[in-house]
Amino acid sequence: MIKAILIFNNHGKPRLSKFYEHYTEDTEQQIIRETFHLVSKRDENICNFLEGGLLIGGSDNKLIYRHYATLYFVFCVDSSESELGILDLIQVLVETLDKCFENVCELDLIFHVDKVHNILAEMVMGGMVLETNMSEIITQVEAQGKMEKSEAGITGAPARAVSAVKNMNLPEMPKNINIGDISIKVPNLPSFK
């Protein structure tokens, strides 16, 4: 079982947190802090597995994480999950994000955390791995996106326009400046089609 999925940046700011067990908000923040502390002090060139996070579950659990550019993707799992499987899942998640956001960067995650949640929901359900096939995930995510659009219909149009205008005023909107620095570098992998 996956106990929690955390995405935070190099400074420990949470970008997404998904807990599959209930904790109070305070404990959740504490877990995020602790996890960040554990993960961030580790060298880049040591393994991606970390045992003995004190807060979630205790000794049976381990943290499996990957570090991409400015973001840490951390999965807290128990002993029933395969380490490689989860490492692979992280890769699939990042690649899927990359496809869905077209060159994903941290700002995408900052502004569209709801979308990230929706994508994640197609991959992991209640702490269990649901789907690892990227094309299948993307198909389902897009189908739901389409549904959303068709529901918005005409009434959604003005809102979209306003939102577009709002975004235009923003110099720091994602993807216009300095993408190079912040974009997550997806390692060059064979595609999964």
Residues in touch with other proteins (CB under 8 A)? 14, 16-18, 20, 22, 24-26, 28-29, 42-43, 45-52, 83-85, 87-88, 91-92, 110-114, 117-118, 121, 125-128, 130-133, 140, 143-144, 147-148, 151-152, 155-156, 158-159, 162-163, 166-167, 170, 172, 187, 189-190, 192
How far is the C-alpha of 56 from the C-alpha of 3, rounded, in Å?
A: 8
Q: What phi and psi values does residue 63 have, to the nearest 5 degrees? A: -100, 130
Residue 160 or 179: which CB sits closer to other proteins? 160
Query: Closest CB to other proteins among 40 and 132?
Result: 132
Between 55 and 131, name the residue whose CB sits nearer to other proteins.
131
Buried b (16+ CB within 10 A) or exposed e, 107-135: bbbeebeebbebbbbbbbeebebeebebe
Q: Minimum distance between the CB of residue 125 and other proteins, rounded to whole angstroms?
A: 5
**Closest approach of other proteins to the CB of residue 103, in Å:** 19
What is the token pair recorded at 10?
């190099």
To the nearest whole angstrom, how small is the minimum distance from the Cβ of residue 161 to other proteins? 8
CB of 187 to other proteins, least distance (A): 7
Tell me, what DSSP letter sits at residue 143? H
Beta partners for residue 183, in sequence order:
105
- 7 C-beta neighbours (distance < 10 Å), count: 27
